[in-house]
């Protein structure tokens, strides 16, 4: 089975290299296509394609695995997935493995994660994927996270198409993991966004730690407790709340009626 390995930290990222080597070692047919630079926080964006149809790609090499086909692409990770899935690098991949991201991607802020955005894009193109991230304190254990990612890939091979997993791993040795738990999305991740106005006309964006106690079954809380947190995500889909269309139509009709209503003293 062909697996696309990508990330949002760029082709030079050690987490990408660890993941590619682990997936290759598990016997998968590996294709690496990653951004030429860091694209953290890009979500599922594909960038500005209005300047022309050409995608700039450059052959790359994965340290320790020079036999793996690898490419650097000028663009965010979602574009890497799209290009690979459309056959830009030979046989299209059947699964996506994204990561290993240094820093957990937990809570509803996964919407903005380029690591997660890669697998969401794969889902939109009909294939399953695993996004894997690892904590960074005291230091990221890419080896542990890559081992977990391979186990997750083995499972989604048997799952329905477009199964999308977000996997978050504590930064510990494999033997120190307390286990794996299904997790709900926390209200926020390990940090929260904050804005400050240091001077007029300027807003300063920062990420700050929080001491708020989170639900014990949430992804953020589980990772803090030493568990691997696994969350199944759903890509873009339409909610089946049909009254919305009828209500909008009613309001448009009422607005049209007001526009043609004769003014006072006028004859229709």
6 pLDDT exceeds 90? Answer: yes
For residue 261, the tally of other CB atoms under 10 A from its CB is 9
In the chain, the domains with their CATH numbers are 2-188+214-240 (3.40.1210.10)
Most confident of 50-59, 66-75, 193-202, 227-236: 66-75
| pLDDT tens digits, one per residue of 65-122 | 999 999 999 999 999 999 999 999 999 999 999 999 999 999 988 999 999 999 999 9
Tokens in use for 120? 């969401």
Greater pLDDT, 212 or 117: 117
Q: What is the mean pLDDT of residues 177-191?
A: 85
CA distance 201 to 76: 30
**pLDDT score for 261:** 62
| pLDDT tens digits, one per residue of 76-92 | 999 999 999 999 999 99
Greater pLDDT, 221 or 196: 221
251 pLDDT exceeds 80? Answer: yes
**pLDDT score for 198:** 77
Phi and psi at residue 67, in whole multiples of 5°?
Answer: -75, -15
CA distance 147 to 173: 11
CB 188 within 8 A of CB 210: yes
Secondary element (H or E) of residue 147: helix 142-156
Q: What is the mean pLDDT of residues 20-41?
A: 97
Q: What is the mean pLDDT of residues 260-268?
A: 59
The model's confidence at residue 264, banded by pLDDT at 50, 70 and 90, is low
**pLDDT score for 222:** 96
Min mean pLDDT across 114-118, 237-241, 242-246 is at 237-241
**pLDDT score for 146:** 98
Q: What is the mean pLDDT of residues 160-176?
A: 96
């Amino acid at each position: 089975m062909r697996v696309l390995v990508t990330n949002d930290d760029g082709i030079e990222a050690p987490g990408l290299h660890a993941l590619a080597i682990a997936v290759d070692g598990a016997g998968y047919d590996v294709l690496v296509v990653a951004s030429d630079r860091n694209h953290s926080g890009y979500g599922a964006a594909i960038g500005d394609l209005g300047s022309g149809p050409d995608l700039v790609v450059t052959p790359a090499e994965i340290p320790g695995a020079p036999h793996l086909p690898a490419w650097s692409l000028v663009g965010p990770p979602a574009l890497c997935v799209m290009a690979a899935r459309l056959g830009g690098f030979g046989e299209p991949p059947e699964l996506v493995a994204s990561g290993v991201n240094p820093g957990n991607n937990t809570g509803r802020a996964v919407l903005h994660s380029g690591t997660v955005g890669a697998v969401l894009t794969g889902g939109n193109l009909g294939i399953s994927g695993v996004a894997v991230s690892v904590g960074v304190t005291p230091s990221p254990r890419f080896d542990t996270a890559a081992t977990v990612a391979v186990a997750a890939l083995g499972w989604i091979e048997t799952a329905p198409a477009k199964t999308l997993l977000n996997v978050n791993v504590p930064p510990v040795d494999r033997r120190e993991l307390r286990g794996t738990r299904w997790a709900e999305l926390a209200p926020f991740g390990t940090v929260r966004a904050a804005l400050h106005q240091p001077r007029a006309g300027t807003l300063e964006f920062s990420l700050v730690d929080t001491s708020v106690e989170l639900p014990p079954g949430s992804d953020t809380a589980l990772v803090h407790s030493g568990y691997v947190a696994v969350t199944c995500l759903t890509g873009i889909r339409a909610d089946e709340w049909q009254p919305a269309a009828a209500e909008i139509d009613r309001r448009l009709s009422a607005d049209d009626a007001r526009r043609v209503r004769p003014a006072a003293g006028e004859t229709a």
